[in-house]
Amino acid sequence: MGMPETPPETVPSARRADGGDAFVTAVRAALPAQGFWTMPVVVAVSGGSDSVALLTTLRRLVPPGLEHRLLVAHAEHDLRDGASADREFVVWLAARLGLHVVWRRLAVRDAPDGDGAGIEGRARRLRYAFLAEVALESGGRHVAVAHTADDQAETILHRMLRGTGLAGLGGMADARELVAGVSLVRPMLGLTREDVRGYLAAAGEAWREDPTNTDTRHARNFLRHDVFPRCEQGPYQAATAALTRLGRQAALVAGAIRSAAEHLLEAHSHRQAGGGVTVQTGPLAGLDRHLVAEVFVALWRREGWPQRDMTARHYTTLAAMSGGDAGTADVIELPGRVRVCRGNGMLSIEPDGRSSEP
């Protein structure tokens, strides 16, 4: 059966003369400098304008003869009737570009909501698990997603309004580990939604529109359609640029604090034979409590102890214990059955609630 000459119903785009070369150059500059095309690259494509722009740009950038290393992945969520048309469009687009596509229908409605993130959180978790599986099965080392500067600004403001810390203000990273051996990369994070539409017009590419993206009952849509337009059409015309700049600065500061905390942890902690860790309190006593709290964040991260129920209050309590603050207990129990005892100039921290009297 041959490829249809026209795609399912899409938003058309009139071709412009420049072909979107500046956009392609910007994406190329944002890709990892070494080894990006040595292994398969998985591109997450919903069929929307951002992901179509990313896919068609990477198709232009893949070195000749390596087109088989560009793999399209589409997650079809069971949340609306038009999802199958999005999938048909992505399959059509991949065929037009001469690329292999993998798609899966994700049962979001019936998925457990163990982390309390709601239906959007469940969809995100299942989608990233699917992308990781495609990468691992294909031998891929990179999964590319199409988040833009506008998405970054929305993420930062969303986190601010929910009450994030400094690290959360950093927004989405340009790259992060998705699973062991696979990186998630965002090569369009420095480009705006306006840049995307300009490129699609220049390239004459069509895309699909998800009608649920206009439903302002969802927090992100509320920010996108109600808050940002009023800011940028009113007194805050550079709201998106200002928030993304704040995010970059916050990420730099958070990274510096994390590095300092990890250095202190390595210098003043010791693993014990039974799986516990002792932390010397003397060298930490005179340090800023926020930095000391980050030392314990780094400890939990390094040891792989349960973090989901650990809050800023727990880490602040550990910092207070290490400084000998008045009113702090000598023994506490933390989420995940982690027991902490203070004595003899150290904190003894044991997972699984084992006794750890120093």
Q: Which of 285, 311, 306, 288 is nearest to 349 (CA)?
A: 306
Sequence spans of domains, the chain: 21-244, 272-353
Report the C-alpha gap between 295 and 76 in whole angstroms: 41
The reported pLDDT for the residue numbered 353 is: 55
The reported pLDDT for the residue numbered 1 is: 41
List, for residues 215-231, the tens digit of each pLDDT value.
Answer: 888 888 999 999 999 99
Domains 21-244 and 272-353 in one fold:
no
Q: Are 66 and 98 in contact (CB under 8 A)?
A: no
Specify the DSSP element, H or E, that contains 152.
helix 149-162
Report the C-alpha gap between 276 and 349 in whole angstroms: 6
Report the C-alpha gap between 268 and 39 in whole angstroms: 40
List, for residues 86-145, the tens digit of each pLDDT value.
Answer: 999 999 999 999 999 999 999 887 766 555 557 777 888 899 999 999 999 999 999 999
The reported pLDDT for the residue numbered 212 is: 83
Q: Which CATH class is domain 272-353?
A: alpha beta
Output b/e per residue, 124-148; b: 16+ Cβ within 10 A.
Answer: ebbbbebbbbbbbebebbbbbbbbb
The reported pLDDT for the residue numbered 309 is: 87
List, for residues 9-38, the tens digit of each pLDDT value.
Answer: 666 665 555 668 999 999 999 999 889 999
Q: Which of 222, 221, 335, 347 is nearest to 280 (CA)?
A: 347
Give 10-residue mean pLDDT values along the chain (358 residues): 56 60 96 94 97 98 96 90 90 97 88 62 90 97 98 96 90 96 97 96 93 86 94 95 96 96 97 93 94 96 89 94 89 93 95 58
Architecture of domain 21-244: 3-Layer(aba) Sandwich (3.40)
Read off the pTM: 0.83
DSSP state of 80: S
The reported pLDDT for the residue numbered 120 is: 76
User: Mean pLDDT for the chain?
Assistant: 90
Q: What are phi and psi of 334, to 5 degrees?
A: -115, 160
